[in-house]
Structure 1
Amino acid sequence: MIVVVGEALVDLAPARGDDPDVLRPLLGGSPYNVAVGLGRLGTDTAYLGGLSRDAFGRKLAQRLEDEHVSLHLVHRTDAPTTLAVVHLDDQARASYGFYLNGTSAAELSADHLDGWQRADAVHVSLGAVTLETDPAGAALVGLLTGERDDTLLSLDPNVRPSVIGDLGRYAARLDEVVRHTDLVKVSDEDLAVLHPDRGHGEVARRWAQAGPAAVVVTRGPDGAEVHLASGEVVEVPGEAVEVADTVGAGDAFTSGLLYALDRAGTLSRHRIRDLDVAGWRAALQVAVRVAAITCTRVGADPPHADELQA
């Protein structure tokens, strides 16, 4: 089983049509999207995070159930559902503003993080909730840096500058947390925000040498690359598609990557280090395909397994 940890929220996104001021509610949050993506791909998945008992929270829970994602690790709360306002630029790239304080995602604490230790892999996506969010951030840092057995630990920094105070300090803290993980998936845009004076390849190599088995860097339409602890780099090109928008594309990539690694039997701290170049190339190709299909549809709408062969 893969346990996905982090926020679930509602995106208020621009509606299609003539009025750009009309917003429609979409269920989302990076870890929530990853869990849905894994469920659609047929991977045994559980979501671990806070879900409100309000109307939005009930909708979030129902969708997870509909996508065959287990809720047995969910923390139920009376706090309102976290909200994000989505802005799309003229190239359909998304940026976000968050309503976080006092909401369901922010109140997750160490007391709520239990049960993941029995999983094959744990994936943490950040976003509205950062390493500095109180108390959820401290809980996630404890999970990411604590003791564990052979459970694979995966991280997507998913940087949202609008909820981060001192980016330099945050980048240094993230560098430290990365040392404890087995797999990092990060976009080239996130690395440029965290380390504007360095190329994404330089940062990825440094991270891979610090502890993880692999650091996967997504490059939007240009594909993806993985930097291995051995120093090897594997690259795959992007897939040309007609883009509806890019909402959820990075999360879909993460789902595709974890799905491919699960199918390859490499979801453990030790087995992932035995995956060869051909295996990594195959996993990246699946992840790129999943992300590309998602980009052809409006919103975070990842594919099912049978669509990968279409």
Structure 2
Amino acid sequence: MAEVSAESGEAVGRGEGVIAVAGEALVDLVPADVAGQFVAMPGGSPTNVAVGLVRLGAPVRMLARIGAGAMGDRVRDHLRRNEISLDHTVEAAEPTSLAIVDLDSDGVAQYDFRIDGTADWQWTDAELADALEGDVVALHTGSLAITQQPGADALFRLLERARPTATISYDPNMRPQLMIHEQARERCEAVVRLADVVKVSSEDLEWLYPGRSPQDVVVDWASWGPALVAVTLGGDGALAATAEGRTPIHRPGMPIELVDTVGAGDAFSTGLLAGLHRRDLLGANRRKALRAIDESDLDQLLGEAALIAALTCARRGANPPTAAEVEEYRRKVGR
């Protein structure tokens, strides 16, 4: 699968090594065109990131506990269709998690989860023993899997094991209806301190830190250890700060024909990671170079991530674009 720069639309070289993605692999029930009906679409924030990365040409390892039954089979088929190996997934006995999606009049998604006793949250250390074997240059996680017990602590220990050799990427993707605020904030802050790359939404920050501005939090978090902290602002674009240059830069949003926002944040994370991989900025041995990324490269990186998110929002569900679709878009708009 050829890789294309989302900024230039031209095929480019890419870095070495595999991006491991750990977390939930569930089914989204997305509203269909007929009122009251739903379409079952495999998803889950980490799964969406893994699929998006493969579609942009990045090598991926999926670490997931996939549930039993027809819904689990649907998830496995989705991963296979997207050329994601099941070698590091667990065929779990528990049922598959469900996320029922509700779209408001603007296409903005809200979620109602069915996750009690489901497969995604039952990780053990033994199941993750070989997760980092081979050339894993980055480990991405976030959302529910890093907060929901009993498996969340096993994933946190995996991050600790990965940090000496790999870039740690984190998207909190908070789900307030499923989380206890203080516990969730403590876990989030602990992962931020381990991470090299953090992508967070302004909605997440509003819940985590009521009354604080995204600019304030992004600068604060960038002082805790991450090389890069990016905040998505919906239609207003994104802002980011780095460890070396903590004054945030702002990248305006892109005009799009919005269908829905399902998977938009995951697509932005995809764009960030694919861009860093292409620039050979992943891996613990590249940590110093990542921390030194300059403002021009950071602005371009945010633009690439914003484009991937925008193209995802232009169609139903978490369905990120391929490299060829990115190239075709660039060709059409002459950019």
TM class, shorter-chain normalised? over 0.9
| Distance of 1:169 and 1:183 partners within structure 2 | 22
More divergent stretch after superposition (97-106 vs 27-36): 97-106
Which residue of 76, 80, 84 corresponds with 2:95?
Answer: 80
**Corresponding residue for residue 26 of structure 2:** 9
Matched, 1:114 2:129: yes
Aligned match for 1:179, one of 193, 211, 225:
193
Deviations 1:173-231 (A, max 9, x none): 32122111111000011101100121111111111101111111111111111111121
* Aligned 8 A contact 1:145 1:177 in 2: no
Distance 2:268 2:236 in 1: 13
Q: Secondary structure at the match of 2:262?
A: coil
Unaligned 5+ runs, structure 1: none
1:125 and 2:139 correspond? no
User: Aligned letter for 2:41?
Assistant: L
Aligned pair partner of 1:143 in 158, 172, 175: 158
So what's the TM-score if we normalise by structure 1? 0.94
Q: Does the Cα contact within 8 Å between 1:92 and 1:245 map onto a contact in 2?
A: yes
Query: Which of residues 317, 321, 324 is equivalent to 1:299?
Result: 317
Q: 1:261 to 1:53 in 2, by over 3 A?
A: same
1:100 counterpart (115, 123, 126) = 115
Partner of 2:247: 232
Pairwise CA distance, 1:150 = 2.7
TM-score (norm 2): 0.87
Of 260, 266, 289 in structure 1, the residue corresponding to residue 281 of structure 2 is: 266
- CA distance in structure 2 between the aligned counterparts of 1:176 and 1:125, rounded to whole angstroms: 12
* Number of residue-to-residue matches in the alignment: 305
- The code of the aligned residue for 1:250 comes to G
Quick check: 1:40 aligned with 2:58? no
One-letter code aligned to 2:303: Q
Q: Map 1:254-293; keep pairs closer than 5 Å.
A: 254-269=269-284, 270=287, 271-293=289-311
- Alpha-carbon distance change, 190 to 107 in structure 1, aligned in 2, over 3 angstroms: same
Runs of 5+ in structure 2 lacking a partner? 1-17, 330-335
The amino acid that maps onto 1:70 is: S
Contact 1:266–1:275, Cα closer than 8 Å, also in 2: no
Letter matched to residue 112 of structure 2:
G
- Identity fraction in percent: 39
Letter in 2 for 1:14: P
Counterpart CA distance in 1 for 2:141 and 2:319 is 20
Query: Quick one: higher RCO (CA 8 Å, sep 6+), 1 or 2?
Result: 2
1:297 and 1:273 map into 2 onto residues whose CA distance is 35
Alignment partners' CA distance in 2, 1:110 and 1:4: 16
Task: Say which is worse superposed, 43-52 or 67-76, in terms of deviation.
Answer: 67-76
Alignment of 1:211 with 2:225, yes or no, is yes
Query: What is the CA distance between 1:172 and its match in structure 2?
Result: 3.0
